[in-house]
Structure 1
Amino acid sequence: MADEKVLDDRLTQIGARSIPEFDGVHDVWPRGDRLNAVRDAAAAYKKRFKEQGVIRAAKSVDIAAAPYPVNYAFHDAVSVPSLPILSMINRMVVVQYEDWNGTPRTLVFEPTVPDGSAEAPYYRNLQKLADKVPGGKLFTDFIYKQYNEPGDVLEKLGLSRDDIDFCTFDHLHVQDSRMILGSTEVIEGESAPREPLFGDAKMLVHSRELATLQSMHPMQWAWYVDGSLGGVDPDKFATFDGDIELGVGVSLLWTPGHTDGNHSLVINTEDGVWVSSENGISLDNWQPELSKIPGVRRYHEQFGREICPNSNTLEDSLDQYDSMIKEKTMADPCGDDPRWLQILPSTELAPWKRFWPVVPTYVHGGIDYGTIESGLK
């Protein structure tokens, strides 16, 4: 009981609350029954979630394109010769809503700082390899593209860093918390400690994801930035467990599997419910039966699977499967083409002809609802 009170107090402080529909579903056994329990709970919650109302505004802006192996992107499903590396585009999403205390809030989802991501062991080693081979610079230019820095996005939207209440990532692969939350330590290669990117904003993070950074398994190491918690004020993190709703029309649903602490952004808009995470990097991952990427539909048909996961780190492949069904159940059909769900990958396969035939079958291209306003605090 005491632990529950601590959790409730933590949520009350940020104007959030837990979601009872999902209580206990991740403990259901056997695993086939758990999948059914997850699906049923998502359907039950979706009805109540939509009845509560919609967000004030949301806007997505592209940050950068970075390389990613094809075999990870579609669980080795691609069946034709292609480039071994493709590009995926990270998007930052700004969401404005009212919390359960009636306070207007501004949330930044996926504010990736590319310089920090480049220091993850996987990308650091990839860059070293490119530097050693003939034509490596051309390869780098072929794969990478910089669009915006998170601070530039705020300026474009008419916001200041002090307008931001919270930031969050669906998980902390290739993220350097020091570059977002600030640090008392000097990052290697820099001359002074980093200031917070978003003023006094707190980072919302699932307790299991933060614990992973504090004690990492060797199988997780390559995708997390070494020392990313160094000098960061622990009070800058607002941790939570399970599934929470932040306010009217916005929730963070626990979707474990890709990482233990993975969570998905879910927002309700005038066009219905949108879901965003990196459990997949294109709609083809969630809807393989509609995919035109060679091999992905066959993966669905051959194995009888409703999804084709993004699989660079399958910390638990069954959990990730269940989580993607949770996301599919929550998402509404797209108005422009109702065959497709309103799922916006937090990092999406670039629709560039240079990677044909491994290009997304359908692309939403971002979201834009309402008017982002400054001075809501």
Structure 2
Amino acid sequence: MQDQRNEQQHRPTAGHLAGIGARSIPEFDGVHDVWPRGERLRAVREAAAAYKVRFKEQGQVRAVKSVDIAAAPYPVAYAFHGAVSVPTLPLISMINRMIVVQYDDFDGRPRTLVFEPTVPDGSAEAPFYRNLQKLMGRIPGGKLAERVVLKYYNEPGDVLSKVGLSSRDIDFCTFDHLHVQDPRMILGSSRIIDGESAPRRPLFADARMLVHSRELATLQSLHPMQWAWYVDGGLDGVDPDKLVAFDCDIELGPGIALLWTPGHTDGNHSLVINTPDGVWVSSENGISLDNWQPELSRIPGVRKYHRNFGREIVPNANTLEDSLDQYDSMVKEKTLADPCRRDPRWLQILPSTELAPWKRFWPVVPTYVHGGISYGRIKAGLR
């Protein structure tokens, strides 16, 4: 009964797109229902190509800026679906970025969105990282190894200061999925979180979280195969009106969309923005451009994986909730992204959590790194 009450408390009743100046994307209607799976991949690719034309014609975002948050350890075996073919350290580091986007919604209202505002203290409570910390504390040299793979740059609140914003400037926040994320750290909670002395206040004042309804439902009822990657109880005490749920591919305004890209998780979605240099895509379906473009990779084994299996992507494979869906979703992302101006061989895909280009992890280092994204000038007081 308690679980049923919890589910009702957090049911996404606030998820009305018109209320946030957004709308669904008709080009993708029904593509995830196409059968058999080879036909579905073709349908996804064709829908993405068709939508890209209209998406670019609608306009560009006002401004966008990314800032690094923290680097955390991650198993090499997950990062490239076991493709790496040489002995290497078992862990590499991934750098999480927070992206601030300013745009006009379809009602003409200026909006500010924060993508991936990870709070490291919350992520540390996911069972996978909690167990990894315990393991590092017990093994010889574990503390030294921890210093090798961990690095802290900025807290989300610090990022706002760096770009000249306050918490009250933020309309929306979102994550591509909720692995190792604790929504209470962002949205606040009426209940006291274990280890704290008072209810947590919202990080971004009255901002609301955009989340796919399937991702929200997953956090409400975890399967054992999902459990290690989510912060159980992450919705306890969260005001349900702070959640805006959606069930499909949506565009928030001219030049910005959240595309449903299932597979890595059921409710995974990708940020897509149009800029003066063309279309950029960001998600954690891969952790480096090598995942999306393995034919160009210099990481040992990745190009061979591509040739031997005839696959045009190598998934970030820590969960593989649906590997075929994740494949289709990464093709969807590749189709939307434009070539990079600096090197047209590479697509403008910015992993939301990216393989660190640190020599200490050689040869598992990214073949090409964009190094972040910045267009226009972020401005305070748009609301």
Following superposition of structure 1 onto structure 2, how do residues 255-274 of structure 1 map, counting pairs within 5 Å? Answer: 255-274=261-280
Greater mean alpha carbon deviation, residues 335-344 or residues 127-136: 127-136
Are positions 1:123 and 2:147 aligned together?
Answer: no
The one of 342, 348, 357 aligned to 2:354: 348
In 2, Cα distance between equivalents of 1:227 and 1:113: 16
Cα shift at 1:180: 0.3
* Equivalent position of 1:21 in the other structure: 27
**Structure 2 length as normaliser, TM-score?**
0.96
Runs of 4+ with deviation above 4 angstroms? 6-9
In 1, Cα distance between equivalents of 2:90 and 2:145: 12
How many aligned positions are there? 372
Aligned amino acid, residue 242 of structure 2:
K
Contact 1:7/1:240 (8 A) holds in 2 = no
Cα shift at 1:207: 0.2
* Equivalent position of 2:91 in the other structure: 85
Following superposition of structure 1 onto structure 2, how do residues 139-288 of structure 1 map, counting pairs within 5 Å? Answer: 139-288=145-294
Q: CA offsets per residue over residues 110-158 of structure 1, 9 Å max, x none?
A: 0000000000000000000011112111011011000000000001111
* Equivalent position of 1:3 in the other structure: none
Aligned amino acid, residue 318 of structure 1:
L
Judging changes above 3 Å, is the alpha-carbon distance between structure 1 residues 7 and 46 closer, same or farther for their aligned structure 2 residues? farther
Contact 2:15/2:246 (8 A) holds in 1 = no
Judging changes above 3 Å, is the alpha-carbon distance between structure 1 residues 9 and 221 closer, same or farther for their aligned structure 2 residues? closer
Contact 1:178/1:194 (8 A) holds in 2 = yes
Cα shift at 1:193: 1.0
Cα shift at 1:77: 0.1
Are positions 1:318 and 2:321 aligned together?
Answer: no
In 2, Cα distance between equivalents of 1:76 and 1:135: 26
**Structure 1 length as normaliser, TM-score?**
0.98
Contact 2:15/2:245 (8 A) holds in 1 = no
Cα shift at 1:189: 1.0
In 2, Cα distance between equivalents of 1:372 and 1:227: 34
* Equivalent position of 1:361 in the other structure: 367
In 1, Cα distance between equivalents of 2:301 and 2:140: 32
Q: CA offsets per residue over residues 195-236 of structure 1, 9 Å max, x none?
A: 000000000000000000111100000000121111101111
Question: Any stretches of 5+ residues in structure 2 without a counterpart?
Answer: 1-11
Q: CA offsets per residue over residues 68-103 of structure 1, 9 Å max, x none?
A: 000000000000000000000000000000000000
In 2, Cα distance between equivalents of 1:188 and 1:214: 19
Following superposition of structure 1 onto structure 2, how do residues 60-139 of structure 1 map, counting pairs within 5 Å? Answer: 60-139=66-145
In 2, Cα distance between equivalents of 1:50 and 1:247: 12
Provide the aligned C-alpha RMSD in A.
1.1
Cα shift at 1:192: 1.1
In 1, Cα distance between equivalents of 2:349 and 2:283: 8
Give the SS at the match of 1:26: helix
Contact 2:78/2:318 (8 A) holds in 1 = yes
* Equivalent position of 1:289 in the other structure: 295
Contact 1:285/1:309 (8 A) holds in 2 = yes
Contact 1:186/1:194 (8 A) holds in 2 = yes
Greater mean alpha carbon deviation, residues 84-93 or residues 226-235: 226-235
Q: CA offsets per residue over residues 287-328 of structure 1, 9 Å max, x none?
A: 000000000000000000000000001000000000000000
Greater mean alpha carbon deviation, residues 255-264 or residues 126-135: 126-135
Give the SS at the match of 2:315: coil
How much identity, in percent, do the aligned residues show? 80
In 2, Cα distance between equivalents of 1:357 and 1:47: 38
In 1, Cα distance between equivalents of 2:237 and 2:153: 29
Contact 1:8/1:17 (8 A) holds in 2 = no
In 2, Cα distance between equivalents of 1:283 and 1:228: 31
Cα shift at 1:187: 1.0
Q: CA offsets per residue over residues 214-268 of structure 1, 9 Å max, x none?
A: 1110000000012111110111100001100000100000000000000000000
Aligned amino acid, residue 34 of structure 1:
R
Are positions 1:328 and 2:334 aligned together?
Answer: yes
In 2, Cα distance between equivalents of 1:292 and 1:172: 30
Aligned amino acid, residue 194 of structure 2:
E
Cα shift at 1:8: 11
Aligned amino acid, residue 97 of structure 2:
R
In 1, Cα distance between equivalents of 2:138 and 2:13: 50
Q: CA offsets per residue over residues 159-190 of structure 1, 9 Å max, x none?
A: 00000000000000000011000001111111
Cα shift at 1:9: 7.8
In 2, Cα distance between equivalents of 1:188 and 1:292: 45
In 2, Cα distance between equivalents of 1:131 and 1:229: 29
Contact 2:185/2:202 (8 A) holds in 1 = yes
Contact 1:249/1:269 (8 A) holds in 2 = yes
Are positions 1:57 and 2:63 aligned together?
Answer: yes
Give the SS at the match of 1:152: helix
